Amino acid sequence: MKIIACIKQVPDSEAKVKAENGQVTYGDAPLVINPFDEYAVEGALQQKEASGGTVTALCVGPESAKEALKHALAMGADEAILVSDAALENVDSLGAARVLAAAILKIGDADMVMFGRQTLDNGAGVTAPQTARVLGWPMLGLAGQIKVEGGSVIVERVLEEGRQIVKANLPAALSVVQSIGEPRYPSFMGIRKAAKAAIPVWSLADLAMAAPAALVTRAATMNPPARETVCEFITGESPEAIAETLAEKILAEKVL
Amino acid sequence: MNFDLSEEQRMWQKTVHDFIAAEVRPHAYEVEETGELHWDAIRKMGPLGLLGLNVPEEYGGANVDAISAAIAIEEVGWGCGSTALTLAAHNGLGVTPLVQFGDAELKKKWLPRVTSGKHKLSALVMTEPQAGSDLQGGIACRAEKSGNEWVLNGAKMWCTNASIAEYIIVVVRTGPTGGSRSLSQILVPTDTPGLHIAPPEKKMGLNGSPAHAISFDHARVPLGNLVGEEGRGLQQTLSTLDGGRIAIGAISLGLAEAALEASLKYAKERKAFGHPIADFQAIQWKLADAAMEIELARNMIQRAAWLKEEGRPYSVEASMAKLYASEMAERVCYNAIQIHGGYGYSREYPVERMYRDARLMTIGEGTSEIQRMILARSLLGG
Ligand SMILES: Cc1cc2nc3c(=O)[nH]c(=O)nc-3n(C[C@H](O)[C@H](O)[C@H](O)COP(=O)(O)OP(=O)(O)OC[C@H]3O[C@@H](n4cnc5c(N)ncnc54)[C@H](O)[C@@H]3O)c2cc1C
C-alpha cells in the first residue's frame, strides 16, 4: 500500500489576521502543519499499520514548509517531498490541485491520497476534490473510518445528517476528519529521523509543467471597518421601567 | 562556541512543549488538589520517549542527549511541578542506576516495563528517617545474604513514586563496617512480601507526586537484584545524583518560567491608580530580574548537561546549576505572588502552587547547604 498524505503549512490558529497594503498578513505568527492535515497523516499511518506499505508526505509551499513536512516525518511518515517554485506564490486551489496531481503521478504507484478536510487559512476545502478530478480518481470526502479490502477502499463518511458508507476502487483520493482518531504525537525516534532528513524540493520544471494560471484572483483586501462600542447603563425606578427604556432603545437602534 | 540547539533538539523541545501544553498543564490544578497524577497523559509519554529519556532504544527508551533530557524536564516543570518531580525521580533516580550499572538481565526484565507507560514507573530511595544528607554515616537499612537471596530489613523515608512504581532501588548497608564501601543498591519489586509502603506524606506542595515512608520486614529478593557492584552503592548513588541535580535545576527553571509568564499576563491586565501595574517601575524590575535570572539558570543547566553529554566531569557545574536554579525559582515565584497581590495568595491563581512546588527544589537531591559544601570543597580541596 503506497499512501500519500497531502499537507499544507498554515499560520498558527492564534495568528492575528489583517490586511496590509491590500494583502492578507499574519504578522510573525508561527507557521505550523495545518491541524486538519494532521488527521490525514494519522489516517495514512493507520492504513500503513493495517496493510503495510509506505507513507509519503507531500506539500506545495515555500521553503519554510519543510518544517510542516518534518512534523509529518516525526509522526512516522517514511518520506517527504516539497514542491516549491516562485511561480506558485499566489496559486489558487485549482492551481495547487494541478501541481499536486502532477507530483502524485511523479511519485507514482500511489494507492491512496489523503487530505485534511480543509485548511486553517483559506478553509475552502476544495483542494482534495479538485486534485481527485485532475487525476480522474474517485473522491471519498469526510472519511471517519477507512478500510481497504482487496482493490477497493470502504469509507465511513461523517456527514451532518449521519454516516454514509461508500466504496470505491483504488487508487482513490480521500479527505479525512477527526473521527479517524487523535493525531499521534511525534516520537523521539521520529524526531531523530526527521531532523536528519533531507527533503527533496521539486520545481515546476521537475514536474514538466508551467505555472497554472490563477482562475481566482483577489482584489485588494481590506480590514473590516473598526467597530465602535459605547456602553450605557440604563437606570430606572423599577425593573419594568428599565425594561421599557431598554426595549425603546433596542427599537430605536433598529436591532430588532 | 554555539548556543543554538540542534535541529533535533529544537524539534524535540517543540514537541514536548506542545504535548505538555495540551495534555499536562491543563490538569496541574486538579493534580495538586486531588493528589493524583493525570495518568492519561503519563500513558502517552511512553511512545513520546519521556519515560525512558536516558534508556537505550533496545530497552524501549528514547536515549536522548543530556541537553534534550534537561529540556524535557524543564517543559514538564513549566506545565506541572508534581508531574515533573515524578518524571525526574523516575528517569533520573529510578531508571539511571539500572541503565548505568545494571546487568543485561535486570535491564531486559525491568526497563521496557517502566518506559512503556503501560505499567507503573520506578523509584530510588536512599533517605531514611535518621539519615538524609549524611548517607555514608547514617544509612541503617541493611541487606544480608541468605542462600540465593538478599534479606532486607529497616526503614526508608521520602521515597518519591513508591506507590506508583514497579520497583524501588534501595540503597542499603551490605557490609558490616561503616565505610564508603559498605553500601549497595538493590532492586526491590514493589510486590515483594515484607515491603510495606505507607500512605503518601502530606506535603507543602507537589502533592500529585506521592512520597512515602517505606519499611522492610525480612523482604527477600534474588541475589541477582543487586544493581552494579556490591559495596559500590554510595559511589553509584552519588554519580546518579549528579545527573539528578540537573533535573531538579530544570524543574526549577520550568516553574520559574511559568511564574514569570503568569506575572507578565497579570501585570498587563491588573489596573491600579489608573494604570496597568506593569507601568510601575517596582513591578517592571521584578519582571526584568526574573527574566535575567531565568536566562542565567538556563545557561548553567544547559552547560552542565553539555559537559555531561561530552563525557567530561560535570559535578561542580551540576551543583552550581541546581543551587542557583532552585533558589532563583523560589525568588521568582515569591515575586510572582507579590505581583499578583491578594490573588497571588489564592488557589484560584497558579502562582501559589508554583511557589509551594519550587520550595522543595532547594532541599531534594542535596540541600542548598550540601551544594555549597560540594562547591567549597572543590574550591578548597579535600
Ligand atoms: C518531596 C520530597 C521528595 C523526596 N524524594 C526522595 C526520593 O525519591 N528518594 C530519596 O532517597 N530521598 C528523597 N527525598 C529526601 C531528600 O533527598 C532529603 O530530604 C534531603 O536529602 C535532605 O535530607 P534530610 O531531610 O534528612 O535533612 P538533613 O540531612 O537532616 O538536613 C537538615 C538540615 O541540615 C543541613 N545539613 C546537613 N548536613 C549539613 C552539613 N554537613 N553542613 C551544613 N548543613 C548541613 C541540611 O542542609 C538541612 O538544612 C525527598 C524529600 C522530599 C521533601
- The catalytic residue among B58, B166, B365, B369 is B365
Cα(B309) to ligand 1 centroid in Å equals 27
- Of the candidates A70, A188, A194, the beta carbon closest to that of B48 is on A188
Q: Tell me what pLDDT residue B68 has.
A: 97
Residue tagged 526549577 (cell numbers): B252
Domain count, chain A: 1
- From residue B220, alpha-carbon distances to B97, B121, B216, B228 in Å are 20, 21, 9, 18
Residue A84 forms part of a structural domain? yes
Cα–Cα–Cα angle for B251, B256, B259, rounded to 5 degrees:
130
Of residues B7, B8, B48, nearest to A187 (C-beta): B48
Cell readout for B368 is 542548598
- Structure letter (DSSP) for residue B382: -
Whole-number pLDDT of residue B243? 86
The predicted-structure confidence for B279-292, as pLDDT tens digits, reads as follows 999 999 999 999 99
Contact state of A192 with B8 under an 8 Å Cβ cutoff: yes
Select from B44, B62, B68 the Cβ nearest to the Cβ of A185: B44
Q: What is the pLDDT of residue A186?
A: 94
> Residue A213 falls within a domain, yes or no?
no
**Which pLDDT band, with edges at 50, 70 and 90, does B317 fall under?**
very high
With a cut of 90, say whether residue B228 has pLDDT above it: yes
ipTM of the complex: 0.82
User: Would you call B191 an interface residue with chain A, using a CB distance cutoff of 8 Å?
Assistant: no
Burial class (CB in 10 A: 0-12, 13-18, 19+), B140: middle
Which residues line ligand 1 at a C-beta cut-off of 6 Å?
A: B 89, 93, 123-127, 132-133, 158-160, 203, 206, 211, 360, 363-365, 367, 369-370, 373
Q: What is the mean pLDDT of the segment spanning A64-93?
A: 95
- pTM for the structure as a whole: 0.90
Report the C-alpha gap between B378 and B382 in whole angstroms. 7
Report which DSSP code applies to B128: B
Tell me which residue of B19, B332, B202 sits closest to A182, measured CA to CA: B19
Q: Which of A31, A69, A184, A191 to mutate to test the interface with B (most CBs of B within 10 A)?
A: A191
Percent of chain B with pLDDT over 70: 100
Residue with cell 502517552: B44
Which pLDDT belongs to residue A165?
97
Does B11 contact A184 at a Cβ distance shorter than 8 Å?
A: no
CA distance B103 to chain A (A): 25
Strands B195-197 and B211-222: antiparallel
Task: Tell whether the model's pLDDT for residue A66 goes beyond 90.
Answer: yes
Chain B residues in contact with A70 by the CB 8 A cut-off are 11
pLDDT tens sequence across A133-179: 999 999 999 999 999 998 999 999 999 999 999 999 999 999 999 99
Average pLDDT over residues B13-30: 97
pLDDT of residue A255: 79
User: Which three three-digit cell numbers place residue B374?
Assistant: 560540594
CA B259 centroid distance within chain:
19
Cα–Cα distance for residue pair A70/A196, rounded to 1 Å: 10
pLDDT at A82 over 90: yes
Whether residue A70 and residue B49 make contact (CB cut-off 8 A), yes or no, is no
- The pLDDT, as a whole number, for residue B177 is 76
Yes or no: say if A192 and B62 are a contact pair by the CB < 8 Å rule. Answer: no
Is residue A169 in a domain? yes
Say whether B149 is catalytic. Answer: no
Distance of alpha carbon A104 from alpha carbon B211, whole angstroms: 56
Q: Between the CA atoms of B335, B338, B343 and B344, what dihedral angle is there, to the nearest 10 degrees? A: 30
Contacts of B106 (CB under 8 A, 6+ apart): B98, B187, B224, B225, B227
pLDDT confidence tier of residue A111, bands split at 50, 70 and 90: very high
Cβ-Cβ contacts under 8 Å for B39 (sequence gap 6 or more)? none
Count CB-CB contacts under 10 A for residue A33. Answer: 26
In this structure, the dihedral spanned by the alpha carbons of residues B88, B90, B94 and B96, taken in order and rounded to 10 degrees, is -60
In the DSSP assignment, the letter for residue A175 is E
Supply the range of the domain harboring residue A61. Answer: 2-202
The pLDDT-based confidence of A225 (bands split at 50, 70, 90) is: confident
Using a 10 angstrom Cβ sphere, with 0-12 exposed, 13-18 middle and 19 or more buried, the burial of residue A219 is: exposed
Is pLDDT above 80 for B233? yes
Average pLDDT over all residues of chain B:
96
**Digit-coded pLDDT (tens) for A24-61:** 888 888 899 999 999 999 999 999 999 999 999 999 99
Task: Among B6, B8, B19, select the one facing A185 at the smallest CB separation.
Answer: B19
Which protein residue has the closest C-alpha to ligand 1 atom 43? B369
CB within 8 Å of chain A, chain B residues 37-56? 44, 47-49
Least confident window among A164-178, A205-219, B2-16, B314-328? A205-219
* Residue B12 near chain A (CB below 8 Å): yes
Q: Across the A/B interface, how many CB contacts are shorter than 8 Å?
A: 37
Confidence of residue B382 (pLDDT cuts 50, 70, 90): low
B241-283 confidence digits (pLDDT tens): 888 999 999 999 999 999 999 999 999 999 999 999 999 999 9
- The residue assigned the cell 517601575 is B281
Q: B149 vs chain A: nearest CA distance in angstroms?
A: 39
Specify burial of residue A254 (Cβ count, 10 A radius: 0-12, 13-18, 19+).
exposed
Question: CA of B64, closest CA in chain A: separation in Å?
Answer: 8
Which residues on chain A are in Cβ contact (under 8 Å) with B49?
Answer: 187-189
Q: How far is A185 from chain B (nearest CA, A)?
A: 7
CATH code at A148? 3.40.50.620
* Distance, CA of B106 to CA of B98 (rounded, Å): 8
Q: How far is the CA of B132 from the centre of ligand 1 (A)?
A: 4
Q: How confident is the prediction for chain A on average, in pLDDT? A: 93
Taking the alpha carbons at both ends of chain B, their separation in whole angstroms is 33
